[in-house]
Amino acid sequence: MHIPDGYLSPQTYVPLYVAFGGFIAAALRKVRQTVSTKNIPYLGMAAAFSFLIMMFNVPIPGGTTGHAVGASIVAIVLGPWVAMVAISVALIIQAFLFGDGGITAIGANCFNMAVVMPFVSIIVFKLVRGKASGGWRVYLAAFLSGYIGLAIAALVTAVEFGIQPLIASADGKPLYAPYGLEVAVPAMAIEHLILFSIVEGLITMLVLAFFLKGDPDNIYAMKEVGK
């Protein structure tokens, strides 16, 4: 889902930079208030984990890529605000050092994968899990949080692509992403629904199973039982 330079118009990427700036400022305040010094290394490990799995990019139609992100499991284990910071760090490093995602599109990429995805994922996890503290319902919640979280992030990305011909054209010719919503949405949605979202769901479920066995008391989304 990394958007390269030249696919989003300033009418799109400037507002997304502003929106992302507001969210990341709020996230940094939350992290300073709620994350203890001894847990800061977990934030770095979360960024490294996300960076690693996002490097396995598969090109898909529309000028973007498909891949797992890791935002869902980070949101579940460490919280959505920590996930926002960790995933943003990974995305910014990828853009500046590896050219994976455009510089003008950093705001859009971070908004899609570091803002939308963690919060969708944590909401899905809590809704499906209910008050269960273990068992199949928790694992189903983890899988669906990853599956739906990535699918929604991909859909948001597709909409950003698909509106470009409507808002940035000259003499009827698109100046940026050339495909309308009728092409961009199916292209992104289908490939994520049948492949990448499944991978994200499985990663989320398997990593959560590891944490439930090793350190269940420190899982952010599992501390809400009974509240």
> pLDDT per residue over 103-127, tens digit each?
999 999 999 999 999 999 999 999 9
CB contact at 8 A, 152 and 192: no
SS3 state of residue 151? helix
**Rounded to an integer, what distance in angstroms lies between the CA atom of residue 161 and that of residue 29?**
31
For the segment 154-176, what is each residue's pLDDT rounded down to a tens digit?
Answer: 999 999 999 999 999 988 899 99
Start-to-end Cα distance in the chain:
36
Closest among 76, 98, 83, 20 to 50, alpha carbons compared:
83
Closest among 82, 104, 86 to 95, alpha carbons compared:
104
**Rounded to an integer, what distance in angstroms lies between the CA atom of residue 51 and that of residue 113?**
12
Confidence grade of residue 56 (pLDDT, cut at 50, 70, 90): confident
CB contact at 8 A, 110 and 20: yes
**Rounded to an integer, what distance in angstroms lies between the CA atom of residue 133 and that of residue 4?**
41
**Rounded to an integer, what distance in angstroms lies between the CA atom of residue 32 and that of residue 49?**
21
pLDDT at 46 over 60: yes
Mean pLDDT of 29-46: 86
Alpha helices in 130-196 (DSSP H): 136-162, 164-167, 181-191
**Rounded to an integer, what distance in angstroms lies between the CA atom of residue 124 and that of residue 159?**
21
The lowest-confidence range among 12-21, 44-53, 72-81, 198-207 is 44-53
Closest among 107, 95, 113 to 156, alpha carbons compared:
113
Confidence grade of residue 224 (pLDDT, cut at 50, 70, 90): low
Q: What is the pLDDT of residue 67?
A: 84
